Structure formats: C-alpha cells, structure tokens
Amino acid sequence: MADMDRDRDRHTRRKEERTRYIVAAVLICVAVVAGAVWGVQTYRSRQAERELALLAEQSRTDVENTRSGTDVQTEEAVTDSLQALREMGVPIPEKDVDFAALQEETNADIYAWIYVPDTQIDYPIVQHPTDNSYYLNYNLDGSKGYPGCIYTENYNKKDFSDPNTVIYGHNMKNGSMFAGLHLFEDSEFFEEHPYVYIYTEDGLLVYEIFAAHQSGNEHILYTYDFDSDTVYRNYLEDIFETRSMNSNIREDAEVTEENRIITLSTCISSKPNNRYLVQGVLLNED
C-alpha cells in the first residue's frame, strides 16, 4: 500500500513538473515572439525616422536675414507678397523641396512641407485620398507603426485655401514629429518663434502663430462649419478669450473670419482626451 502511494506521488510530481515545463516553454516562446515583434516595430520606426531626417536634410533650410528693400527687389524668384514680408522684417527660410522627386521616389501623397524654426518640425505633409486615418498609423514607406506622418484629412483642400486647415502629427517621446509643438507652452519660446512656414508646389505660405493652447478631443472640422462667417468669427473669439494653463495668445495679432489659418494638432501624453494646438494666420494672402 505504501509502495502504491509512493508511486502515485511520484507520478503526480512528474506530471506537475511536465506541466511547469510546458508552461515555461510556452511563456518563453511568447516572450521571444513578442520581443521579435517589438524589435521589428522598433527597427521600422527608427528607419522611418531616419528617412524623414534625411528628407529634411536634403531639403536644406537656409534662413535669410532681413534685407533692405533694394536687395529684395533684385531677387527675381521671390513673389511680391514675400518681398513685402521681408520688408516688414519677417525672415524667409529658403528650402529646396523637389516635390516631383518626392512624389515619385518617396510617396505620391506628399503635397506640401512644413517647417517650424528651432524645433524638429521639418517634414513633408501628406494626405491620403480615401482613408483619413491612414497616416496616423502608417509611415511614408507604407510600413505600419510609429512615427506615422504629418498629415491632413481630405476634408481640407490641398491648396490651403480653406478657412482652417488642420494638420496632425504624433507627440513622439523623442521630440520628433509634432512633439515640438509643446515647446510653445513656454511663453518666451512662443514670443521668440512667431512663424510657421509651409512650402507647396505653388510657393511659400507664411503663417504668424497667434495661439498655442490645450483643447478637447473634438474633431475640429466636424464640430465647426467654417464656411459660416458667424461660426468662424465665434470660433476665433473663443480662442482669443482662452486663459487656461500653458496657453499663450498673441493679443496684437489680427485674425478675422476673412483670414485663413492653420491648426497644428498633437496629443498631450498626460491627457489622452485633450489635444495641444498651435494656430497661425496666413500673412501672404492672395
């Protein structure tokens, strides 16, 4: 009887050991697979960021100093509106953006380029023709994952002629993509960096930043009918009345419902239900 009990205990222990071994092996396999997936995703993310950095380097940003009216008049390639801005003291960064090459060699959806001085924001802007959330999750090369792209939705035209063009980008921990928008929470940085530059195939658009503030997570283009002058006017008035923490407003900026603006939107890591917005008004209107 004792021998039978010992055999039964031995059998039970062996069974338990086999079970523990199988469980451990399964956990190790899961960990290996998860690690491999994480490794691939990390590699793709870094590869996408390297590609964006290379594109920014190739576009070459040279910030001009303010020049005299005589010097400006001799520059044949500069439009009258940019000449006027130069004469007002607005620095005009010259970038060499070859949109035809970018569209052919990198991504056909690239249609503009955004540059914000003294941030890492120096990227192409894309818009998917049918899927508005595509570039939230996909990179320029079509790989899935972070950092995604700087993009607009097809509710906005690609010529920036809408009253409010909303541009989206991830708030990356390494400071890339639209993480640099959070620099505008600092009032000194806000005052010293008043411009956003957008390059298109038709020329350069210069925006003066008039607001940097937190908002809710409402879809701006769903929520507001900017074709209505009244709605647009009220929207702008609400912005200028913003008095929340980390908000900065340029009180002397002139922005009315007759102006065109851009809204740069990114996440707030500590507030998933809020967004941080940096907004600028177009200075060189047609």
Q: Hey, what are 88's tokens?
A: 């007002």
Mean pLDDT (whole number) for 105-109: 97
Mean pLDDT (whole number) for 101-120: 97
Q: Which residues make beta-bridge pairs with 261?
A: 164, 281
Start-end of H helices in 159-228:
187-192, 220-223
What is each CA distance from 257 to 31, 45, 196, 254, 263, in whole angstroms?
A: 56, 40, 20, 10, 15
pLDDT in tens, 42-83: 556 566 666 676 676 666 666 554 333 334 333 443 468 899
**Is residue 238 helix, strand or coil?**
helix
Q: Which residues make beta-bridge pairs with 212?
A: 248, 278
How many CA within 13 A on the CB side of residue 39?
Answer: 6
pLDDT-derived band of residue 241, with 50, 70 and 90 as boundaries? very high
Q: Hey, what are 259's tokens?
A: 């102006």
Closest alpha carbon to 52 in 166, 119, 147: 147
Rounded to whole angstroms, the Cα distance separating 247 from 1 reads 82
Rounded to whole angstroms, the Cα distance separating 197 from 236 reads 21
219 phi, psi to nearest 5 deg: -75, 110
Per-residue model confidence (pLDDT) at position 226? 97
205 phi, psi to nearest 5 deg: -110, 130
**Amino acid at residue number 140:** L
Per-residue model confidence (pLDDT) at position 70? 36
CB 203 within 8 A of CB 79: yes
Among 32-46, 84-98, 135-149, 231-245, the range scoring the smallest mean pLDDT is: 32-46
Per-residue model confidence (pLDDT) at position 244? 85
Rounded to whole angstroms, the Cα distance separating 194 from 230 reads 27
Rounded to whole angstroms, the Cα distance separating 120 from 7 reads 70
Q: Which residues of 197-229 are buried (b: 16+ CB within 10 A; e: fewer)?
A: bbbbeeebbbbbbbbbbbbeeeebbeebebeee
Closest alpha carbon to 207 in 116, 118, 124: 116
Per-residue model confidence (pLDDT) at position 40? 45
Per-residue model confidence (pLDDT) at position 80? 83
Rounded to whole angstroms, the Cα distance separating 238 from 245 reads 15
pLDDT in tens, 16-49: 666 666 655 555 544 444 444 445 455 565 666 6
What is each CA distance from 9 to 14, 15, 16, in whole angstroms?
A: 9, 10, 10
Rounded to whole angstroms, the Cα distance separating 248 from 218 reads 20
Per-residue model confidence (pLDDT) at position 71? 42
Mean pLDDT (whole number) for 246-271: 96
pLDDT in tens, 154-202: 999 999 999 999 999 999 999 999 999 999 999 999 999 999 999 999 9
Per-residue model confidence (pLDDT) at position 62? 62
pLDDT surpasses 70 at 2? no
**Which percentage of the chain shows pLDDT scores above 90?**
69
Per-residue model confidence (pLDDT) at position 30? 47
**Amino acid at residue number 147:** P
**Is residue 64 helix, strand or coil?**
coil
